[in-house]
Amino acid sequence: MKEAVRAFILSRARDVFQEKGFANATVDDIAAAAGVSKPTLYNYFSGKQGIFMAVLEDLHARVAELIRPHIGNFREDFPLRLRKMSVEVAKNFFRQQGLVRIMLSERRLIVELFDQCGKNDNGSKPPFWQGETYLAFVAFFQFAVEAGELNRCCKPELLASIYIGMMTQINLNQMFHTWSENEYMNAVQTAVDVLCNGLLNKIQ
């Protein structure tokens, strides 16, 4: 029951942050959107910063879940897996452009919040961008390297960083040009094709 309430508050908080941004959203806004009192909200979260970090962690977890089915899938070759995964990840990002805009425009703020709030169970803190999404991308490329689909000189960590950088640039362009979903997806597919062709050329 408590997990269901927490998840519902998070879903409403995500809507509030997407609509108002981090700076303009308030705990009152989130409590009203979730239909709970502020004391109830504070039973689950420490405050606005804690709620926002939980929303970002949930976003990372959802993206990682989209990536994992494409790891170790021998039924499809690397180009097809990469393209399918990219379409699913891109659609998820497009649906949550409000959060993506906050992540891109207020990166320093997010890193500061992570330094304050984000910890592993043992109390240590990994670099902010090496979260669940990053690790899932590393595993995706690691499988391709170990399966011989990519040259063994390819470093999965570097490929994951390049891929994330590519998606970040596309989302920055989306912020400035306000692409339609079709335009956004076309940009993603074009970038993925270029990346895929470049990687496959390294093993020829």
Contact criterion met (CB below 8 Å) for 192 and 86 = yes
What are the tens digits of pLDDT across the range 39-98?
999 999 988 888 988 888 888 888 999 999 999 877 889 999 999 999 999 999 898 888
- What are 132-182's pLDDT values in tens digits? 889 999 999 999 999 988 888 889 999 999 998 899 889 888 878 888 999
Q: Which residues of 135-171 are buried (b: 16+ CB within 10 A; e: fewer)?
A: bbbbbbbbbbbeeebbeeebebeebbbbbeebbeebb
For the chain, what is the radius of gyration of the CA atoms? 18
Amino acid at the residue 93: F
- Between helices 2-24 and 48-67, what is the axis angle to 10°? 110
pTM attached to this predicted model: 0.81
Across 121-131, average pLDDT: 50
**pLDDT higher for 126 or 52?**
52
